[in-house]
Amino acid sequence: MIKHVVSILKNAGAANRAKIPVLVRKGLTLALIFCAMAGYPAPFSLRGPAVKGSDFRVTVFATNLDYPLGMARLGDGSLLVAVSEGVSFWNSTGKLIRLWDADEDGVADGPGTSLFSGLPGGQTSLRIGGKLVFVTGQGQGRPISILRMGCSSNSGRNSTSP
């Protein structure tokens, strides 16, 4: 199909090519680029003399998470995940959950433990710097939330550390 479209454009000639609207020509050009790229896998490879592909295994670590968009490994080996729960990404409430893989089989041991809720929705990133957890949201008016790991002063419960 790509060859057919290219031949039509080439054979149109200068006089007829001017009759083809600019937007149509640009649209066809973009379509050709996307069609050509669709046949190629995403560029991913494991490289290096000590890297063996057989040493890697892909698993589904956790399921049934609403918009999990930020993750960070905690010092105890668990995984802290920022999720946005609600009817849609933009109409949601942010929450931090901890997932464990105690048996190291590549699959979370359960649905996770809620560590903090009430964050603005639309979470897009989660980073840890020392004892601080930074959670950012996407869109205008979405704040950067900063939480401190350790015992919460208002509830006595552990926020993000064991």
Q: How confident is the model at residue 100 (pLDDT cuts 50, 70, 90)?
A: very high
Distance, CA of 104 to CA of 122 (rounded, Å): 30
Q: How confident is the model at residue 98 (pLDDT cuts 50, 70, 90)?
A: very high
Residues 63, 143, single domain; the answer is yes
- Inside any domain, residue 155: no
Q: How confident is the model at residue 92 (pLDDT cuts 50, 70, 90)?
A: confident
Residue matched to tokens 């200068």: 14
Q: Give the tens place of pLDDT for each residue, 51-80.
A: 777 777 778 899 988 888 889 999 888 999
- Inside any domain, residue 127: yes
Residues 66, 107, single domain; the answer is yes
Residues 66, 34, single domain; the answer is no
Neighbours of 152 (CB within 10 A): 14
- pLDDT score of 30: 55
- pLDDT score of 29: 59
In degrees rounded to 5, what are phi and psi of residue 36? -65, -40
Distance, CA of 83 to CA of 108 (rounded, Å): 16
Identity of the residue numbered 76: D
E strand map for the chain: 70-73, 79-86, 92-99, 113-120, 123-129, 132-137, 144-148
